[in-house]
Amino acid sequence: MILNTDSMKPIYVQIAEWLEVEILNSNMKEDERIYSQYQLADMFTVNPATAAKGLNLLADENIVYKKRGLGMFVSPNAKQFILTKRRKQILEQMIKELVIEANRLDVSESELIMMIHNFKQDYKEE
C-alpha cells in the first residue's frame, strides 16, 4: 500500500479515509469486522499506534463500533453517514478556498454568486 507521505494530511487520516472508501465501495459491509490496527499497520507499513489512531477517528464518528475483545465492526448506516459527511466537508472546503481566492482577486460577493450561477447554466446546456 502506498501512502502519500508528502500530503499535508496526517497518515492516520489517510488510513481513515481509505477505510471510508472501502465502506463506500461496499468492500466492507454493515456489521462486518473491519481491519485490525495490526493488519492496517502491516498493509500501510506504519506503526500500529498510527493505525489505531486512524481507527479511533472512525470510532469517534460512529462509523465503526467496538465489540469488546472482538475488534471493530462497520456500523449500520456507516455508508450513508460517510456520504453526507463527505458532501458537507468537501463542498465546504471548496467554498472556503473559493471565497478566499475571490477576495484576493477582488471579486465581489455578488460577482462570485453570478459566476456560480452562470456556470451552472452552461453546465446544464452541455
Partner 1 sequence: MNVIQCHDVTKSYGQNRALDHLSFEIGENKITGLIGRNGAGKTTLLKMIAGYIKPTQGELQVFTRKPFNNLDVSAKTIFIDDNMTFPDSFRLTDILSEVAPFYAAWNSSLADALFNYFSFDPNQAHSNMSKGSKSTFNSIIGIATRCPLTIFDEPTTGMDSAVRKDFYKALLKDYLEHPRTILLSSHLLSELEEILEDILLIDNGSKCLHLPIMELRELAVGIRGNEQALLTFVEGKELIYKEEFAKGSLYVVIKKESIEQEFKHVRQNGLEVLPISPDDLCVYLTGKTGGGIDDVFKRS
CA distance 62 to 77: 10
100 near partner 1, judged by CB under 8 A:
yes
Nearer to partner 1, 3 or 98 (CB): 3
What is the C-alpha to C-alpha distance for residues 45 and 54, in angstroms, rounded to an integer? Answer: 14
Contact between 61 and partner 1 (CB under 8 A)? Answer: no
Residue 38 lies near partner 1 (rule: CB under 8 A): yes
Q: How far is the CB of 108 from partner 1 (least distance, A)?
A: 17
Cell of 61: 464518528
Query: Which span sits near partner 1 by CB under 8 A: 5-13, 15-23, 59-67, 114-122?
Result: 5-13
Answer whether 57's CB lies under 8 Å from 18's CB: no
